[in-house]
Amino acid sequence: MMGTETSFRCPVCRAKFRSRRECSRCGADLSIIMTIVAEAQICRKNAIRAIHSHDFQKAHVLATKSQNLHQTEAGRRLLLLTSWLESG
Ligand SMILES: [Zn+2]
């Protein structure tokens, strides 16, 4: 359902981030990016779980947090959905 697409790039050489601790091109340490991406993914998963339990306010908070950590297209759609649900 959620892709692994990411907008992150290596801060050193601008190579596309490939969900690895080290840049595939220059070997820079990307573990901080890994942590942020993983946290955002957990927030998105918890937001979806909250939607399923009809806790729309919690879902919206989690979706917002997830987008603040790491913006993705899937996250943007989830945030839109939760803001509709919360206001409805
Ligand atoms: Zn690099």
Q: Over the stretch 16-36, which tens digit does the pLDDT of each residue have?
A: 988 889 999 999 999 999 999
Half-sphere exposure of 81 (CA within 13 A, CB side): 17
pTM of the predicted model over 0.85: no
Dist CA 28 CA 25 (whole Å): 8
State the pLDDT at residue 15.
Answer: 94
Q: How far is the CA of 37 from the centre of ligand 1 (A)?
A: 17
pLDDT at 5: 55
| Residues lying with their CB under 5 A of ligand 1, a single-atom ion | 10, 12-13, 15, 23, 25-26, 28
Largest CA distance in the chain: 48
